[in-house]
Amino acid sequence: MAGYAQDKEAIGRRLRRIEGQIRGLQRLVGEDAYCIDVLTQIAAATKALRSVAIELLDDHLAHCVREAAERGGAEADEKVTEATAAIARLVRS
Amino acid sequence: MAGYAQDKEAIGRRLRRIEGQIRGLQRLVGEDAYCIDVLTQIAAATKALRSVAIELLDDHLAHCVREAAERGGAEADEKVTEATAAIARLVRS
Amino acid sequence: MAGYAQDKEAIGRRLRRIEGQIRGLQRLVGEDAYCIDVLTQIAAATKALRSVAIELLDDHLAHCVREAAERGGAEADEKVTEATAAIARLVRS
Amino acid sequence: MAGYAQDKEAIGRRLRRIEGQIRGLQRLVGEDAYCIDVLTQIAAATKALRSVAIELLDDHLAHCVREAAERGGAEADEKVTEATAAIARLVRS
């Protein structure tokens, strides 16, 4: 089961809203909107995507990593290594 | 005319690809994909959005800011202030 | 005991190197170096700081969060909430 | 002359303050401070560095890029390309 199971609906809704933001961006570009207005909307969509990522990370730590830690052993090490790699990718994206 | 006029087609295509990435994310979440796999795709979509923003900024500096600077006066100051604010929003997003 | 106990020396060394980078930045500015060269060095120092943060987060997950999870209970919840907040601050910094 | 000439003193002061933050980080690590407290201070120092970068970019656009645009020609193109590359490095740092 995914770590975000209990937030699945909410995350789906947020992603649909972000899809709408990306479509809004296409419309702006199609209408030759002013560069700065397009950039403002890109910053908003990026922020929204990052928020979803932070929510997913929270769920991942609270469920997948935590449960692996409770079971202990090599799997717990792997989960931590994997979570850190995901955080690094996010910070650098 | 928008600063990105000559890149309008390419930017539209990149945004459509990003829309596809966001739909792919909804599919992953709908299928209860593993958190880390969802996060990897979010990082990829964020990177793609940032790249479009950098392309737009480049076009904005090369056309809107540059042309305002050639005309001189208060408009040139405004364009620089506005561009810096957009860069700051992007860096912080 | 801090989660980074076993990496304490290495982290101290990396922070001293970053301190040297910041002093190098002051020297560049004092010598009226070209803006772009100063910006390149700021990006390098920022990257180095972020790398230290990711190392600290890894140690924190591998020790503090993991051990709290093994003990279970409310403390484990708190550690996850706290770690997510730190990740969010890092991503937004 | 550097684009930040008129802000040189203020930028020097901000960098000295950041140097103090980095030394504070070394002290925290030396005293085995709690990981999350160290991370909070790293996020603060990163934010301060980014703010200096945005100030420098603003000065660079307002002076170096703007003056090159007024002179026109290939130098103006180069300045824009160079500024965009610096922004991209900053966004990705």
pLDDT tens string A26-76 = 999 999 999 999 999 999 999 999 999 999 999 999 999 999 999 988 999
CATH domain D7-91 topology: Methane Monooxygenase Hydroxylase; Chain G, domain 1 (1.20.58)
Q: Where are the alpha helices (DSSP H) in chain A?
A: 8-30, 35-59, 66-71, 74-92
What's the pLDDT at D1?
Answer: 75
C91 at interface of D, judged by CB pairs closer than 8 A:
no
Residue in chain B nearest D50 by alpha carbon? B91
**CA D1 to CA A92: how far, in whole Å?**
33
D72 lies within 8 A of chain B by CB = yes
CB spacing of A61 vs C83 below 8 angstroms: yes
Q: Report chain B residues whose CB lies below 8 A from the CB of D88.
A: 54
Rounded distance, CA D20 to CA D16, Å?
6
- The answer to whether the beta carbons of residues D62 and D3 sit under 8 Å apart is yes
CA distance B70 to D68: 9
Is the CB of C61 less than 8 angstroms away from the CB of A66? no
Give the up-direction half-sphere exposure of residue A23: CA atoms within 13 A in the CB hemisphere. Answer: 9
| Spatial contact of B29 and A4, defined as CB atoms under 8 Å apart | yes
- CATH T-level fold of B5-92: Methane Monooxygenase Hydroxylase; Chain G, domain 1 (1.20.58)
Output the pLDDT for position A1.
Answer: 75
Question: Topology of domain C7-92, per CATH?
Answer: Methane Monooxygenase Hydroxylase; Chain G, domain 1 (1.20.58)
State the nearest Cα–Cα gap between B72 and chain A, in angstroms. Answer: 20
| Distance (Å, whole) CA A3 – CA A65 | 9
Per-residue pLDDT of B10-60, as tens digits, reads 999 999 999 999 999 999 999 999 999 999 999 999 999 999 999 999 999
Q: What is the DSSP string of D47-81?
A: HHHHHHHHHHHHHIIIIIIHHHHHH-SHHHHHHHH
| Ramachandran bin of D32, using left for φ above 0, alpha for ψ from -120 to 50, beta for the remaining angles | left
Query: Is B87 within 8 Å of D92 when comparing Cβ atoms?
Result: no
Which pLDDT band, with edges at 50, 70 and 90, does C1 fall under? confident
Residue B85 Cα distances to A37, C85, D41, angstroms: 12, 26, 25
Measured CA to CA, the distance from residue C16 to residue C22 in angstroms comes to: 10
Interchain CB distance below 8 Å, A57 and C92: no
Which chains have 3 or more CB–CB distances shorter than 8 Å to chain C? A, D
Binned at pLDDT 50, 70 and 90, residue A23 comes out as: very high
Interchain pair B65, D70: CB under 8 A:
no
Closest residue to B80, CB basis, from D66, D76, D84: D66
The answer to whether B61 contacts chain A (CB < 8 Å) is no
Helix residue ranges, H only, chain B? 8-30, 35-59, 66-71, 74-92
Q: What six digits make up the tokens of B50? A: 């940032």
Give the ipTM of the model, two decimals please.
0.95
Q: Which amino acid is at A30?
A: G
Answer whether residue D46 shows pLDDT above 80.
yes
Contact by Cβ (8 Å): B27, A56: no
